[in-house]
Amino acid sequence: MEATVYLLFILVLSIFLGFELISKVPSTLHTPLMSGANAISGITIVGAILLAGRQEDPVSAYIGAAALVFATINVIGGYLVTDRMLAMFHAKDKSNPKDRN
């Protein structure tokens, strides 16, 4: 019980921190924000690894392996596509030949 309360405490503080952080993100970056945040939500990968590696219970390991595939797609795909998007954002720079073609 005490452990749960402690975790709830962390949860509430993190939500407030999240509000503070995200409300400062400009609307230009909302799509990369969303896909980047999505990649972070793939943190379930940690739970999936622990489950997939469980030796004493094969059924749980199968379920964990399936969870791991989905979570890994979420993490790898999410970070890579966010990086691809963010690489395209650039400021106005007249000396940059890419702007002038």
Partner 1 sequence: MTLEICYILAAILFIVGLKRLNSPTTARNGNMLSAVGMFLAVAATLCSGDLDYRYIVAGLVIGGAIGGAAARMIEMTAIPEMVALFNGFGGIASLLVGWGEFHSGRTELGSGTLAAIGFAVVIGGVTFSGSVTAYGKLSGKIAGRPVMFTGQQLANAILLIVTLICSALMVAGPGFAADYRLFAVIAVLSLVLGVLAVLPIGGADMPVVISLLNSYSGLAACAAGFVILNKVLIVSGALVGASGIILTKIMCKAMNRSLTNVLFSGFGATVASHGAKTEGAVNPMTPDDAYYVLEAARSVVIAPGYGMAVAQAQHVVRELGQLLEDNGCEVHYAIHPVAGRMPGHMNVLLAEANVPYDQLVEPDAVNSIMETVDVGLVIGANDVVNPAARDDKNSPIYGMPVIDIARARTVFVLKRSMASGFAGIENPLFFRNNTRMLFGDAKSTVSALVASFKA
Distance CA 39, CA 69 (A): 14
Tell me: does residue 92 bind partner 1 (CB under 8 A).
yes
Tell me: does residue 95 bind partner 1 (CB under 8 A).
no
Q: How far is the CB of 98 from partner 1 (least distance, A)?
A: 6
Distance CA 33, CA 25 (A): 8
Cα 63–47–78 angle (5° rounding)?
A: 95
Q: Which of residues 48-77 bind partner 1 (CB under 8 A)?
A: 48-57, 59-77
Tell me: does residue 97 bind partner 1 (CB under 8 A).
no
**Positive or negative: CA dihedral 80, 74, 10, 47:** negative
**Which pair of structure tokens corresponds to residue 44?**
């379930």
Q: How far is the CB of 87 from partner 1 (least distance, A)?
A: 6
Q: Which of residues 27-46 bind partner 1 (CB under 8 A)?
A: 27-46
Tell me: does residue 2 bind partner 1 (CB under 8 A).
no
Tell me: does residue 47 bind partner 1 (CB under 8 A).
yes
